[in-house]
Amino acid sequence: MTLKSALQDVKETTLAAVAGLLGKLGYLASLRRSHGRYEHWGMETVHGAESSERALSAAHAEVVTGVLRMPLVSLEQDLEESSRGSGVAAGVYVEQLQSRLPDLLPSGRKDAPSVTHLNSVLAALSSLQEARGRATRSTS
């Protein structure tokens, strides 16, 4: 049996169980506590607190980068997948993400460009969901 590194474990086990890139982003943000450190009991038990912290932070940074680089049409599909995985309507899901904007970025990525970019992406997704809702109501 080959042992996985903490980062491999996060990616291949923990995050593999979460639907969508936006879902992964929300999940990783939920693991960071008010003191700024990530807490994941299973990861800490297997890999130790420091290794777990580094892996979760690195995974969080990778997921944010993935979201910011993903074309809007792909993000719209990802939003559907992520919201389905959480059992919430896509419009509600993106609103929940918007309300947690500061938490969605890893501690090292709270620079203005990343915040502005992610805020713009979430606003665009929200607008697309609103337009889709209006179109659905007008054709009903």
DSSP 47-91: H-HHHHHHHHHHHHHHHHHHHHHS-HHHHHHHHHHHHHHHTS-HH
Distance from C-alpha of 126 to C-alpha of 51, rounded to nearest angstrom: 36
**pLDDT category, 136, cuts 50, 70, 90?**
low
pLDDT per position as a tens digit, 70-98: 999 999 999 999 999 999 999 999 999 99
Query: pTM of this prediction?
Result: 0.89
Q: Domain limits of the chain?
A: 6-139
Q: What is the mean pLDDT of residues 116-123?
A: 94
